[in-house]
Structure 1
Amino acid sequence: MGVETGRITTDVPARLDRLPWARWHWLVVIGLGTVWILDGLEVTIVGSMSEALKDPHTGLGMSSSDIGFAGAIYVAGACLGALFFGQLTDRFGRKKLFLITLLVYTCATVLTAFSMAPSWYFMARFFTGFGIGGEYAAINSAIDELIPAKYRGRVDVTINGSFWVGAAGGALLTIPLLDPTVIDPEWGWRLAFGLGAILAVGILLVRRHVPESPRWLFIHGREDEADRIVAEIEETVAEETGHPLEKVSETITIRQRKSIPFMLIARTVFTMYPKRTVLCFSLFVGQAFLYNAFFFTYGDTLTTFLGVQQTGWYLAVFALSNFAGALILGPLFDRIGRVKMITFTYVFSGALLGVTGFLLGSVTAFSLTLLGVIIFFFASAGASAAYLTASEVFPMETRALCIAFFYAIGTAAGGISGPLLFGWLIEQASADKDITGIAIGYFIGAVLMIGAGIVEAFLGVKAEGRSLESIAKPLTVDDEGRSDEHADAATQAGH
C-alpha cells in the first residue's frame, strides 16, 4: 500500500504560499472554518437544555445522570470520530472527508431534534460528536494547506476561536427558546437542534466549491490535478486582486505514494519528533483543563453560589470575549511569532486563573464574569494556537492524524475526566455553601496552563511565515536520492 509510484519535482507549495490574500481565500475560510460555530452552538445549547430535557411531558424525562451521560457520550464520539476520520483524511484526501464529516454531523443533529426516548438521544449525540471530531482533523489540515504561509497563523487562530461565536449564539438562543411564553416547551429544545442542522446545510453548499488540497494530491500521484487546481486558484486570485503574480523558483522533489503506512506515521510522531509530541500534548491538555476549570463550571457557579437564574446573558458575554481574543490577537502570531505569543497567552491566562481561585470567596456574578472575560481573552488565542501547532509541526502525510490524536487526548482529558472532577467539587462545595471549595479546580487548570506555556518557551517551533514543507519535510521528500525518513533516521543514529 505504501509502494513508491514515481518521483516528481513540483513548485506547488511555493505557488500557494506566495499568493496575496483575495476573495478566494474567504471562500476557504467560510466553507471550512465556520463549522466551529456549529460546535460552539451544540455545546452551549445542550448545556442550557438540561432542565427542558428532564421534563417527562415536554422533554424526554431524563435524569441528571442521563444528562451527564449524554455529555460524556458526545465527547467520546468526538474523540473516536477524530481518530477514525483523521487517518482516513490522510489516506483518502481532505475534500472527501470534510464533506462526509459534515454530512454525519447534519444527519445526527436532525436525529437529535426528533428524539423520542433517552436511548435515541444518546445515539444521536454520539454520532453528532463523531462528525464534529472528524471535522477538526479534516478541516484544520485542509485550511493550513490552502492558506498562504504569511496568513496561516492568524487565520487558524481566528477560525478555531470562532467556536465562541457559536457559543454566544447558542447562549442567546436559549433565552427565547426556553421561555414558555414565546415557544411551546415541547418544541423549543427540538427547534434549537434543528437550527444547527439548517446552518450545516448552508455550510455544505459553500464547501462543495472548496478544492482538494494540491499538496495532498501531488504526494499521492495526482500531480496533474494539483497543477490544474493551483493554476485555477492563481487565475482567480490575479483577477480578484488586479495584479499579476510573481514567478516562483523554489521546488521540492517528492517520491509519490498512493498511501503512507500507518506504522511509519506513528514512528514519525513518537520517534522522529518526540519534542514536538511533548509540546502538543502539553498545549492540548493545558487548554482543556483551563476551560473545564472555569467555563464548564461557570453556569453552575453562577446559579449555585451567586444567585443567578438566567445565565444566557453572562455566557454570551463570556463567549464573545473569547472570540474577540482570537480575532484581535491572531495577527500577532504571524508578526511577533508563535513561540512568544503562545508562551505569553498560556502563562498569563494561567496565572490570572490562579489569582481568581484565591479571590473566589469575595466575588460577585459581575466580578467573576469580568475576571473570566479577561482571562479567556488571552486564553482563547492560545488554545486556538494549540491546533495550529499540531497542524504545522508534523509532516504533511501525518497532519490530519496528528491533529486528531492530540485533539482526542485534550478532549478526553478535559471533556470526560474534567467534568467529573469539577462536578464533584461543585457538589461538595454546594453542600457547605462555600464557593471556595471549587478553587482547587482553578488551581489545577492554572498549573497545567502555566506548565504548557513553559514547555512552549523551550520546545516551541518558530513557524511564522515559513512553508509547511520547511517546518517539517514530507516523509516522501527526496533529499539527494534519500527519503527524509531515512535521512532523519541516519542523523539520529549518528547522534
Structure 2
Amino acid sequence: MANIGARIERIPDNKYNKGLLVKTGIGNTFDSMDIAMVAFVLPSIIGLWSLSSEQAGLLGSSVLIGYLFGAFFSGWLGDKIGRKKIIMWTLIIYSLATLVSAFSGAWEHFFWMRVIAGIGTGGESAIIAPYLAELIASKYRGKYIGALTGFHSFGYVAAAIIGYIVVPASENGWRIALIITALPIFLVLYWRRALPESPRWLESSGRLEQAEQEMRKLEQGVEKYTGKLPEPAEIAPPQVTKGSFFTLWNKKYVKRTIMIYILWFSVIFSYYGFFTWLPTLLYKQGFEISKSFLFSILIYVAQIPGYFSAAYLNDVLGRKKLICTYLGLAAISAFCLSQAHTSSTILISGFFTSLFMVGSMAGMYTYTPEQYPTIIRSTGTGSASAFGRIGGLLAPIYIGYMYPIFGFIGVFLMTTGVLLIGMVSTFILGTETKAKMLDDLNDDNVDKDDSDLNKVV
C-alpha cells in the first residue's frame, strides 16, 4: 500500500490546496490582529491608568507570556491528540479572553486576560504551519507555507486600520477595538467541518483506518479540480514510533534544534520589540497619535510584499539563503532607522525594516517544520516558537527600560545586532531543505523510548 506521503506528493497545485491555504490563513490573520491590537490600545491605556514606562512594557509583553506557553503545549498536544482539535480550541481560548479584556477595569485585570488570550494565539499560530506543511507536496510547500505566514500581514494591517479609525474615535474606542478582534470565535463553526485532520499525523500515530479516510476525502476534494489523480508509488507505511520533547535533543536533531531556537529568538525578539512599541515610540518622537498610527499603517502594509515576496523566493532561492538574505537586509534597514530623524526617512527605513523582517519569518515558518519527522514535527515547531516568544516577551519590557536611557537610536541599534545574530547562526548551522520530501528530510524511525535521558545529547 502506498503511504500517505507518496499520495500527497503526487497531488499537483490546485484550487483545493489554495482553499486549504485560505482556510488556515484566516486563522493567522486573526491571531496577528489580536496581538497587534495591543500596540494600538496601549497609548490609550497608558493615559487611562497612568502607567509607567515599565508597566506599559509589561502590558506589551502580556500576550507573549501566554504565547510562550500556548505555543509549547499546543505543539506537544498536536503530536498527541491531533492538529485539528488544537487549532479549534486555541481559537476559542483567545477569542473569549480578548472579549473579556475589553471590559477590564484595571491594568492588572487587562494584563491577565491578555496572557490567556496569548495562550490561544500562540497555540494556534504554532500548530497551523506544520499542519498545512503535512498536506502539501514538497514542490509547492515553500510557496504555500510562506503565503500562509503572509496572512499575518493582513491581521496587522487590519489592526492598524481599526487602531487608526476606532481607537481615537471615543473614550472607549480601545474597548470597541478589542471587541471587534474577538469576533473570529464564529470561525470555529466553519473549521469544524471544513478542515481535515492531517493524514500524515494519523498514519504516524498508527491510526491507519482514519488516515485512509481523511486521505480519501482530501483526494476526492482535489479530483474535483484536477480529474483522476495518478497512482502513487507503492511504499510501505512508516513504522509507528514514539517521540517527545527530548527527541529534539538527541544526536540526530540537536544541531537543527539549536539553530532553529537561535533563529526564532532573534527574529521574534526584533519583531515584537519593533511592532509592539512602534506607535508609542513615534509618539514619543514628537508625532501626534493620529500621525503615529498612520505611519504604523504604512509600515505594516510593508508586511504584505515582505511575506509574499519571500513566499515566492522560498522555492527559488531555498529556505536558508532566503532567511540569511532577508535578515541581513532587515539589519541594514534597522540601522538606517536608528539614524533617521525626519518623517520621510523614518517612514522609508521603517517600511524596509518591516518588509525584510517579516520576509525572514516566512522562510522561518517554512524551514522549521522541515527539520523534524511527523511524530515530533508539531512539538519541534511549537517548542521553537515558544522559545522565540521568550525573546518576544522580553523585547517590549527591555525596550521599556532601555528607551529612557538610550532613546530611539539605541532601540534600533539593538534590533540591528539581534537580527545579525539570527542570520549568522542560520548561515553556520543550517542546511538547505528546498523541494525535498518530508519523508526524505527526516528518518521517522526515531527512538521508540526517548524518555531515557541517557539518549539526550
TM value normalised by structure 2: 0.91
Kindly provide the amino acid, as one letter, of the partner of residue 424 in structure 1.
Answer: Y
Of the candidates 238, 245, 248, which is equivalent to residue 232 of structure 2? 248
Residue deviations 1:267-306, cap 9 Å, x none? 3434321221122022112212332554344323322224
Q: Does 1:330 align with 2:311?
A: yes
Residue of structure 1 in register with 2:375 after alignment? 397
3-state SS of paired residue (1:464):
coil
Q: How does 1:239-318 map to 2 (within 5 A)?
A: 239-241=224-226, 243-249=227-233, 251-256=235-240, 260=242, 262=244, 265-292=245-272, 294-310=274-290, 311-318=292-299
Residue of structure 2 in register with 1:185 after alignment? 171
Q: Does 1:158 align with 2:139?
A: no
Q: In structure 2, do the counterparts of structure 1 residues 107 and 114 end up closer, same or farther at CA, with 3 Å as the change threshold?
A: same
Q: Does 1:174 align with 2:160?
A: no
Residue of structure 2 in register with 1:433 after alignment? none
Residue deviations 1:407-436, cap 9 Å, x none? 1111111322x122222232235xxxxxxx
3-state SS of paired residue (1:335):
coil
The structure with the larger Rg is: 1
Kindly provide the amino acid, as one letter, of the partner of residue 133 in structure 1.
Answer: G
Kindly provide the amino acid, as one letter, of the partner of residue 71 in structure 2.
Answer: A
Kindly provide the amino acid, as one letter, of the partner of residue 245 in structure 1.
Answer: L
Instruction: Give me the whole-angstrom Cα distance separating, in 2, the residues matched to 1:39 and 1:469.
Output: 30
Instruction: Give me the whole-angstrom Cα distance separating, in 2, the residues matched to 1:68 and 1:386.
Output: 26
Instruction: Give me the whole-angstrom Cα distance separating, in 1, the residues matched to 2:306 and 2:188.
Output: 24
Residue of structure 2 in register with 1:472 after alignment? 442
Tell me whether 296-305 or 96-105 shows the greater mean CA deviation.
Answer: 296-305
Tell me whether 399-408 or 346-355 shows the greater mean CA deviation.
Answer: 346-355
Q: In structure 2, do the counterparts of structure 1 residues 54 and 290 end up closer, same or farther at CA, with 3 Å as the change threshold?
A: closer
Report the aligned-residue RMSD. Answer: 2.7
Q: How does 1:127-138 map to 2 (within 5 A)?
A: 127-138=116-127
Kindly provide the amino acid, as one letter, of the partner of residue 41 in structure 2.
Answer: M
Kindly provide the amino acid, as one letter, of the partner of residue 166 in structure 1.
Answer: G
Tell me whether 345-354 or 320-329 shows the greater mean CA deviation.
Answer: 345-354
- Show structure 1 runs of 5+ residues with no match: 1-8, 430-436, 478-482
How far is 1:250 from its partner?
5.1
Of the candidates 36, 41, 49, which is equivalent to residue 49 of structure 1? 41
3-state SS of paired residue (1:211):
coil
Instruction: Give me the whole-angstrom Cα distance separating, in 1, the residues matched to 2:327 and 2:288.
Output: 30
Q: Does 1:195 align with 2:180?
A: yes
Q: How does 1:22-171 map to 2 (within 5 A)?
A: 22-54=14-46, 61=49, 63-64=51-52, 66-171=55-160
Kindly provide the amino acid, as one letter, of the partner of residue 149 in structure 1.
Answer: S
Q: In structure 2, do the counterparts of structure 1 residues 145 and 380 end up closer, same or farther at CA, with 3 Å as the change threshold?
A: same
Kindly provide the amino acid, as one letter, of the partner of residue 472 in structure 1.
Answer: N
Q: Is the Cα contact below 8 Å between 1:50 and 1:67 reproduced in 2?
A: yes
Kindly provide the amino acid, as one letter, of the partner of residue 404 in structure 2.
Answer: E
Kindly provide the amino acid, as one letter, of the partner of residue 284 in structure 1.
Answer: W
Q: Does 1:420 align with 2:394?
A: no
Q: Is the Cα contact below 8 Å between 1:113 and 1:194 reproduced in 2?
A: yes
Residue of structure 2 in register with 1:341 after alignment? 322
How far is 1:348 from its partner?
2.2
Of the candidates 381, 405, 409, which is equivalent to residue 359 of structure 2? 381
Q: Is the Cα contact below 8 Å between 2:70 and 2:119 reproduced in 1?
A: yes
Instruction: Give me the whole-angstrom Cα distance separating, in 2, the residues matched to 1:297 and 1:191.
Output: 21
Tell me whether 305-314 or 212-221 shows the greater mean CA deviation.
Answer: 305-314
Q: Is the Cα contact below 8 Å between 1:475 and 1:484 reproduced in 2?
A: no
Q: Does 1:445 align with 2:433?
A: no
Q: Is the Cα contact below 8 Å between 2:38 and 2:276 reproduced in 1?
A: no
Kindly provide the amino acid, as one letter, of the partner of residue 77 in structure 2.
Answer: L
* % identical aligned pairs: 23
Q: Is the Cα contact below 8 Å between 2:57 and 2:400 reproduced in 1?
A: no
TM value normalised by structure 1: 0.84
Q: In structure 2, do the counterparts of structure 1 residues 73 and 484 end up closer, same or farther at CA, with 3 Å as the change threshold?
A: closer
Q: Is the Cα contact below 8 Å between 1:31 and 1:204 reproduced in 2?
A: no
Q: In structure 2, do the counterparts of structure 1 residues 347 and 55 end up closer, same or farther at CA, with 3 Å as the change threshold?
A: closer
Q: Which runs of 4+ in 1 moved over 6 A?
A: none
3-state SS of paired residue (1:236):
helix
Instruction: Give me the whole-angstrom Cα distance separating, in 2, the residues matched to 1:237 and 1:353.
Output: 44
Q: Is the Cα contact below 8 Å between 1:83 and 1:134 reproduced in 2?
A: yes
